[in-house]
Structures are given as C-alpha cells and as structure tokens.
C-alpha cells in the first residue's frame, strides 16, 4: 500500500545489526523532512526579528513580546494535537485504514476549539501589558501585532492537525514542503508590510503579524487542496470522508495529547522564567544567555526531528504487531542519540569562542556566551538522551507518567537548584548565570534517568 512508502514492515528473521541499521535508515527517511520543516519554522522567527529590528527598537521589542505570548500557547496546542501522529501511525501499522480519517476529523474538531481559545487569549493581552508597565508605543504595536496574528491561528492549527495525517502515514515530506512554502511567502510579505512596499501602508511590527497570518493561511489552504487532489491520498478523502464529532474518540486523543502539550508548555515556560530571573544581572548576562540558548535550540532541531520520527516509527511497529522490533529500535536509538550528543558536546566545547563571535562583536557578551556554551556542552548530552526516551514512550502512547517526570525534573530539580546556584552561597559561591545552566543540566539528567528507566520497563 502507498501509505507504507516510508514505513517498511521489518523482517524479524534478519540478523540483529542489519535490523538496527535498517531501522536507523527508516528514521533518517522520516526525520530528514521533519528537520527541514522545523528549520523552516524557526526561520520565520528569525525573519520577523531581523526585519522588525530594522524598522525600529519599539517594533523589535513589540514583536518579541508578542511572540513570547503566542509561542507557548501554540506549543501547548501543537503538543495536544501531536497525539494524532502516533495514533494514526499505529492505525497505519495495523492496516486499520478505516480508522484513519475518523481520527483525523476528531483532531480537526479539537484544532477548531483550540483555535478559538488561543485567539481569545492573544487578542486580550492589554491587562498583561499593563502589568508589565510597557510604554504606550510598544504595547500598542504589540497589541496590533497580536490582533493581526490572530487571523492566522486557525490555519496554523489546521496544518498541525493535518500533519497528524501526513506524518502518521509516513509522508513527512508533505509538512516539509508546506512549511517551506509558508516561509518563502512570509519573507516578501514581511518586507512589503513592514516597510510599506508595492503601495501597501508602512505598518512596522504590526505588518509582521499580518505577514505571518497570510502566509499561514496560504500554506494551509494549499495543503488542503493538495490532500484533496493528490493521487497519493486517493484512499483518504478529507472532504468525502467527513465524520461527525465523536466524544469517545476526542477523549482518547485528549488523553494522549494533553500530557504532551503540558510537557512542552512546562519546558518552554521554564526557559522564559529563567530569562526573567537573570534580568537583574544586567543586559550583558541576559544577552550571553540568550545567545547560548539560541545555539542549543538550533542544535536541538536534529535530535528533536529524530525523536519525532522515532515516535512515528515505534507507533507504527506496535500497530504492525512487531513489538520486538519496536523495543529494539527504542533501545538502539539511545545509542544513536548518545553519539549525536557527543558530537554536539565536543563541538560546543572546542568552538565556543568562535560561535560566540558569530553572534556578537561585544567583548563582554562574547566572554559570557563562551562560558555558558561550555556548560551547554554537558547540557546537550542529557537533553538529547531525554528527548529520545520521551519520544519512544510517546510511540507507545505513554504520555501521562512522562509528563509528571518532566514536571518533577524541571520544576522540582532544575529550577530550584539553578536558583540556589545562581543567587545564593548555600552550596557553592554564587555562580551567576552558569548556575541556571548547571541546574537545567541536572534536571535534564534526572529526566533522562527516570524516562530511561520507564522506557526500559516498557521494553523488557
């Protein structure tokens, strides 16, 4: 069947090493397009920041503040809808084709409700800005940016829901293509709407919101059109296979998806809180921290993409009733993750100075960044291993206990330890910003150990 194009059913009689290498090759085929899609989505943020920064300092600040409000919300709903990928991949492995479109439609209903909630939150931010004591000009631009951005929210979440279908069928190139399309549209639209080109009004940072909304709308409509017209999806008719809301199916998706969304939100909020805690240490420290965080976030795209592919593949193998291969892949992926982490760690440790120099010419910021990147080298190892473990567990649709593990690891270990090391002399002399990186690393190491133990119990 066409839906097994990138998800071959394994030959369990093959020797061990060829089986492992074959599974790693499948991960690469699934994960490569996911990586390109992730980078394309990151590029939108870079484009917005650079272009708004050239408009004015107020526009840059407003877009940054607006993004910091909608991004955690989007990540939560993206995680919630992320349950569709292992669910549909499992149906695909079991060849239960009749269950795929009903699951997709329940995801679309969840996406519609999520859109309404997210829109209500992002267009009612004035009280938040008042609490932040923002100056009037910046808050007006940020509010205008979010009001414009809100028009694109349904299209963003529509694409996330449809990604459950395409990724679940092993066609990860589809979301890659439409993510790249959205980025290519966003670039000229930003230029035209921010600076007032082609007879359009000069909108500054507010133009970023409109550009993002329009590019998301075009990409989502194009994706729907493709799914309805492409011969690849002739077995899955998005419109013709419409089904009514099914409360039981919706509850099933939410039971898996809510812990994923909450886990992602907890992690994203932790880094936001750390940035606020570091603010009293001055702009040099904050700048160095942000650069180090940006570098690690960029490197994290590779293990994250492999992890998302791992979720799809494990769910497929479980659905195909080949649990032995699912267990083999889950465990062997830790070797792959460890090798990736080691390469990243060595790279960061040896080239911390030159990497810092690429981001800033300020000598003091370079020194802080170089120091933090050396701590980030150790951070990478724990981070890559934990994301591999939690991704494999999501393939088994085990999301609730991992959520509590991550909550404990981040807010029970990482944040308290980081605060103590940064600001107090309770354990060692106050370390400043490196203290939070040590705390985060300890939290991630805790998560890696506990998630690894849980994965081992699943794959005994």
**244-282 pLDDT per residue, tens:** 999 999 999 999 999 999 998 888 778 777 777 776 777
What is the CB neighbour count within 10 angstroms for residue 291?
22
What is d(CA 129, CA 106) in angstroms, rounded to the nearest whole number?
A: 35
What is d(CA 35, CA 32) in angstroms, rounded to the nearest whole number?
A: 5
pLDDT confidence of residue 125:
83
Q: What is the pLDDT of the chain when averaged over all its residues?
A: 86
pLDDT confidence of residue 338:
85
What is d(CA 94, CA 262) in angstroms, rounded to the nearest whole number?
A: 29
Q: Does residue 437 contact residue 275 with C-beta atoms inside 8 Å?
A: no
pTM of the model: 0.86
Tokens matching residue 258: 């809510």
Q: Does residue 68 contact residue 272 with C-beta atoms inside 8 Å?
A: yes
Nearest 5°: the CA angle 338, 39, 4 is 75
Residue that the structure tokens 């886990």 belong to: 263
What is d(CA 441, CA 433) in angstroms, rounded to the nearest whole number?
A: 13
Nearest to 318 by CA among 98, 167, 310, 250: 310
Tokens matching residue 406: 């991550």
What is d(CA 185, CA 155) in angstroms, rounded to the nearest whole number?
A: 15
What is d(CA 147, CA 145) in angstroms, rounded to the nearest whole number?
A: 6
DSSP assignment, residue 97?
G
Show contacts of 74-78: CB within 8 Å, 24+ apart.
Answer: 74/118, 74/156, 75/261, 75/264, 75/265, 75/268, 76/261, 76/262, 76/264, 76/265, 77/111, 77/114, 77/117, 77/118, 77/157, 77/160, 77/261, 78/157, 78/160, 78/261, 78/264
Q: Does residue 212 contact residue 183 with C-beta atoms inside 8 Å?
A: no
pLDDT confidence of residue 236:
81
pLDDT confidence of residue 222:
96
CA 314 to chain centroid: 19
Ranges of the chain with pLDDT below 50: 1-5
């Amino acid at each position: 069947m066409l839906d097994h194009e990138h998800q071959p059913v394994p030959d369990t009689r093959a020797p061990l090493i060829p089986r492992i290498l074959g599974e790693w090759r499948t991960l690469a085929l699934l994960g490569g397009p996911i990586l390109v899609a992730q980078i394309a989505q990151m590029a939108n943020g870079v484009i917005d920041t650079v272009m708004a920064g050239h408009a004015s300092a107020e526009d840059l600040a407003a877009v940054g503040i607006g993004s910091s409000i909608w991004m955690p919300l989007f990540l939560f709903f993206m995680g919630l809808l992320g349950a569709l990928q292992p669910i549909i991949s499992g149906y695909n492995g079991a060849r239960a084709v009749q269950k795929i479109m009903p699951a997709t439609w329940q995801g679309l209903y969840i996406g519609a409700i999520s859109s309404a909630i997210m829109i209500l939150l992002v267009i009612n931010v004035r009280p938040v800005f008042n609490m932040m004591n923002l100056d009037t000009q910046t808050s007006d631009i940020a509010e205008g940016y979010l009001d414009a951005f809100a028009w694109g929210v349904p299209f963003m979440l529509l694409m996330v829901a449809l990604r459950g279908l395409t990724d679940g069928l092993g066609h990860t190139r589809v979301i890659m293509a439409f993510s790249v399309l959205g980025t290519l549209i966003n670039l000229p639209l930003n230029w035209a709407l921010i600076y007032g080109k082609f007879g359009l009004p000069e909108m500054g940072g507010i133009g970023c919101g409109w550009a993002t909304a329009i590019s998301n709308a075009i990409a989502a409509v194009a994706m729907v059109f493709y799914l309805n017209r492409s011969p690849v999806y002739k077995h899955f008719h998005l419109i013709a296979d419409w089904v009514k809301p099914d409360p039981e199916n919706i509850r099933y998706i939410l039971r898996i998806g809510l812990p994923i969304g909450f886990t992602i939100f907890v992690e994203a909020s932790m880094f936001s809180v750390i940035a606020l805690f570091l603010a009293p240490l001055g702009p040099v420290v904050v700048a160095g921290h942000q650069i180090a965080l940006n570098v690690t976030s960029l490197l994290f795209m590779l293990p994250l993409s492999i992890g998302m592919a791992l979720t799809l593949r494990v769910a497929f193998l479980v659905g195909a009733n080949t649990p032995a291969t699912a267990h083999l892949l889950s465990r062997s992926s830790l070797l792959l993750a460890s090798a990736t982490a080691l390469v990243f760690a060595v790279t960061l440790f040896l080239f911390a100075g030159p990497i810092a120099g690429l981001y800033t010419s300020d000598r003091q910021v370079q020194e802080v960044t170089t120091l933090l990147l050396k701590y980030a080298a150790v951070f990478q190892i724990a981070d890559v291993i934990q994301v591999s473990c939690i991704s494999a567990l999501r393939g088994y649709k085990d999301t609730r206990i991992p959520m509590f593990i991550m909550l404990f690891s981040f807010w029970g270990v990482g944040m308290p330890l980081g605060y103590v090391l940064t600001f107090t002399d309770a354990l060692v002399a106050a370390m400043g910003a490196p203290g939070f990186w040590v705390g985060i690393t300890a939290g991630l190491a805790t998560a890696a150990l506990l998630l690894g133990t849980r994965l081992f119990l699943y794959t005994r």
